[in-house]
Amino acid sequence: MSSATTSKTGFNVHYRTIDLVTITTLAVAFGVIFWGWGKLYEPLSGLAVFSYPPSSGLLAGPWLIAGVVGGLIVRKPGAAFATEFLAAAVSTFIVGGTQWGFSVFASGFWQGLGAEVIFLLIFYGRFGVVIAAAAGALAATFESVYEWNSYWTDWDMGYKLAYLGFFAVSGAVIAGVGGFYLVKALAKAGVLDAFPAGREQVAEV
């Protein structure tokens, strides 16, 4: 009999040591990436192609990828949320931090929650590219609404909805589809053999 604990809905809620180590490792790696992307964001968002302010949402997708990847790999309740939130925390405590200060904690919370909700809705039972894209899009939606009331308070509703749309597209494509294929690449490289994503890759070969 397996020692894994399963909820009444049928999904596995037992965390192994390797699950926790993987979440932590992903959080540190993506936290550094988040920090670096934050340094690039302002000069990029100032380019003429983003002269329509809400279109800067197209640049925000990379900040959502940790939750999607964590959820796709670990596939257990809380994994997507924890990976995203911890990655945001790491980006805050790197030397120099980010230009948004400790508000990044709130962003990590809403982004992680958005991704987690999608995995919860399908009871942690499917992990294809459509689910990944949906997780990225909902993470972007949650974060957009948070930003309406924190960063973009002077925008009218038209601007706010446009920003949400641009952000959701970026979340779906960069964090969702991009995160899905990143996991596939890691599985193909053999670093996810302890996870279903890695075993699925072996089965496909």
Confidence class for position 95, pLDDT limits 50, 70, 90: low
Domain range 17-197, CATH architecture: Orthogonal Bundle (1.10)
Tell me the average pLDDT across 108-133. 96
Residue among 181, 179, 187 at smallest CA distance from 204: 187
* Chain position carrying tokens 């003429």: 48
Residue 12 dihedral angles phi and psi, to the nearest 5°: -80, 125
Q: What pLDDT score does 4 carry?
A: 47
The percentage of residues in the chain with a pLDDT greater than 90, rounded to a whole number, is 78
pTM of the model: 0.90
pLDDT digits (tens, 9 = 90+) for 31-65: 999 999 998 998 999 898 889 999 999 999 999 99
Residue among 55, 59, 52 at smallest CA distance from 37: 59
